[in-house]
Amino acid sequence: MENPKVPRLTLVGAGPGDPDLITLKGIKALKAADVVLYDALANEELLDFCGSHAKKVFVGKRAGLHHYQQHVINQMIVDHAIKYGHVVRLKGGDPYVFGRGHEELQFAEKHGLLVDLVPGVTSSISVPALNQIPLTRRGINESFWVMTGTTKSGQLSSDIAHAAKSSATSVILMGVKKLPEILEIYTQSGKANTPAAIIQNGSRPDQKMVIGHVANLQELAIKNNIGSPAIIVIGETVALGKEKLNNTLDQIEWSS
């Protein structure tokens, strides 16, 4: 009689969207999975790495569109692991950067599952880099901040006001719906002329980006129909992404 499979969970970061940006360890986990629970932000092409026996379940978490609530997903992880064995939870970006991965891992461990984590390429760093926007540059800034635009209560993060007073490059996730509020904070901090960008669907073929300044970024976003999922980048280093426009004028608008 075949031994039953040990219930276990592997959290895998899928990267920002380009399927080539998943790690080799992440691919190995997908190949070994009995079940894959995947998010809306995880590129479905990655499911091609799964074995033919693997069960694939869409759980559809995206800002403003939750196919399943978090507590339901937590329980699904446990139930599928007990029934099938190895569950891979495939999450966009990195599971530990505003991905609620630690909550899922803790819940699984509490219910007796073996757990493992495969870090992912986070959009907060990789998407600006892919568009030649460095988050740090010698002589320009000394740090960068990665923040959520919207807290658990639905309010604007108070950290944004602190970041606006610094020379740090600010990377704001889940902030497009609060863009006017964010830009007003930076304007009040004397940053109206600071370079700023919004990048939607970063690393994907349908990426759209606008680069301007705090004072006109909202106008550019509306003109170019920029929406979620997108990241906002504010800081002097954003101006260094201007050269990216040369060959992609159909996808990017620059305003000096």
Catalytic residue set: 39, 61, 174
- The secondary structure element, H or E, covering residue 219 is helix 217-223
d(CA 12, CA 83): 20
In degrees, rounded to 5, the angle at the alpha carbon of residue 101 between the alpha carbons of residues 132 and 127 is: 10
Is residue 205 within 8 A of residue 161, CB to CB? The reply is no
SS3 252: strand
Is residue 171 within 8 A of residue 199, CB to CB? The reply is no
Residue 231 vs residues 49, 117, 129, 193, 198: alpha-carbon distances, Å: 28, 24, 12, 19, 6
Is residue 241 within 8 A of residue 134, CB to CB? The reply is no
d(CA 148, CA 229): 13
Is residue 209 within 8 A of residue 198, CB to CB? The reply is yes
